[in-house]
A and B are shown apart, each in its own frame.
Chain A
């Protein structure tokens, strides 16, 4: 591509940046903080209730995760989690509820293609990278820990 053309493309890129509205970053951060915080508070509340009923710390943590995943999955099915996500952004993506949403949403969407090639093949299209690289990172950390401890 000629230099003249490159200049033209760069000039256009600048025009586009000027014409494109940016997200409201401060407002989005506040929303994410509040909703993310509320989700974490609900998680802590569940943990405390479980501990009150005599579960150990480890058990309470595991059951809390399971309950939060269940709630988020049901909310996704009811079409409510996408509304929360639209408002909260990262605030509802980062907690474990966001992970649950990212698995349930494709499961619902690809049901029409059947339980094997639809749900089965597509359920981890969004969560898959998290699972893969999460597992790989855990293994690496585990190996380092084994030698360093």
Chain B
């Protein structure tokens, strides 16, 4: 059985292997710094469908098929699917997986969904509930803009603190044992709200949640910053990164040498005009899968603390003047 560690962490006793990962992205991501590392780039924003929402579901189903193929399994081998996205009622994922006809846990953690999924998937394996767990998270720039902001063709300016929602889907197959990078433990995040109300500055809204997970992970496992080769947050962007560095330093640890954010890695902000960086469920999922997982697999890195981050607002809460609470899910991936 897994062992509870400290305040909010768990160390697994089973070796929970990440057997395969895959990432499918859109055109803009496919033109960014990670373009050669993605498994598949779909240049058409509607992916041959007639709406952005249907396109997102197609990203989900295509990429899940791809990860199953890479893991050498088919859908009948999958015991549970754990997936989520940003669309209302998780439709991106549910419509995407309905053809697989397998048991499904739909989860919502905003852009922290991939971390939440990896955590719940690990728990399912630890509990002996299955051999193969399929985890996925997706987002689509156009569909997210439509739901949360303004119509795409509206001629307005985006503030410099805003981030760009990544179009794509990241998926992983978790299994028990084997010579793969594995999930050693998780630090599940609390809802942390430091009173930020600006929906165009989500990095600032989520940074306290990320810093809280980092500090609790260190304390719960009795480790320091140098335990990890890299600490990677989900989609805080440049603004959020600066804030996390300060908040963690206030907590007594210096992570300036081995910390980065997926939102910074996925786009080139000067050439691609993405302002503070990338965001969305797919941001952390496809960046971890394409950039960091291979480094763990080939031994270039041994220990990564991967922390997808989510801003938990919706358009109604913003209009009613609510603050934006953040959440983050820490996943310790080692090899």
Contacts and interface: CB of A to CB of B under 8 A. Distances in A.
B146 interface: yes
A108 B239 contact: no
Contacts of A81: 153, 155
A15 B151 CA distance: 32
A20 interface: yes
A13 B197 CA distance: 10
A37 B163 CA distance: 31
Interface string B243-284: 100100000000000000000000000000000000000000
Contact of A16 (B158, B159, B204): B204
Contacts of A88: 155
Contacts of B161: 20-21
Interface in A67-93: 76-77, 79, 81-86, 88-89, 92-93
B157 A89 contact: yes
Contact of A23 (B154, B155, B160, B201): B160
Contacts of B298: none
A12 interface: yes
Instruction: Determine the main DSSP class of A at the interface with B.
Output: helix
A102 B155 CA distance: 8
A21 B196 CA distance: 16
B152 interface: yes
B44 interface: no
Contact of B160 (A21, A83, A110): A21
Contact of B153 (A20, A23, A98, A105): A105
A36 interface: no
A59 interface: no
B244 to A, nearest CB: 10
Given A9-B195, A12-B194, A19 B243 contact: yes
Contacts of A101: 153-155
A20 B157 contact: no
B3 interface: no
Contacts of B157: 23, 28, 85-86, 89
Contact of A98 (B150, B155, B159): B155
A112 B155 contact: no
B107 to A, nearest CB: 27
A138 interface: no
B318 to A, nearest CB: 15
B151 A106 contact: yes
A109 B201 contact: no
Contacts of A110: 151
Contacts of B201: 16, 20
Contacts of A21: 160-161, 239
A19 B153 contact: no
Contacts of A83: 155
B156 interface: yes
B159 A23 contact: yes
A93 B156 contact: yes
Contacts of B154: 82, 85, 101-102, 105-106, 126
Contact of B243 (A15, A23, A92, A112): A15
23 contacts: A9-B194, A12-B195, A16-B239, A16-B243, A20-B161, A20-B239, A21-B239, A23-B157, A23-B159, A28-B157, A82-B152, A85-B157, A86-B158, A93-B156, A101-B153, A105-B151, A105-B155, A106-B151, A106-B154, A108-B153, A109-B152, A126-B150, A126-B151
Interface of A: 8-9, 12-13, 15-16, 19-23, 28, 76-77, 79, 81-86, 88-89, 92-93, 98, 101-102, 104-106, 108-110, 112, 126
Given A19-B239, A76-B155, A110-B151, 16 more contacts: A8-B194, A13-B196, A15-B246, A19-B243, A21-B161, A23-B159, A77-B153, A81-B153, A82-B155, A85-B155, A85-B156, A89-B157, A106-B154, A108-B151, A108-B153, A109-B146
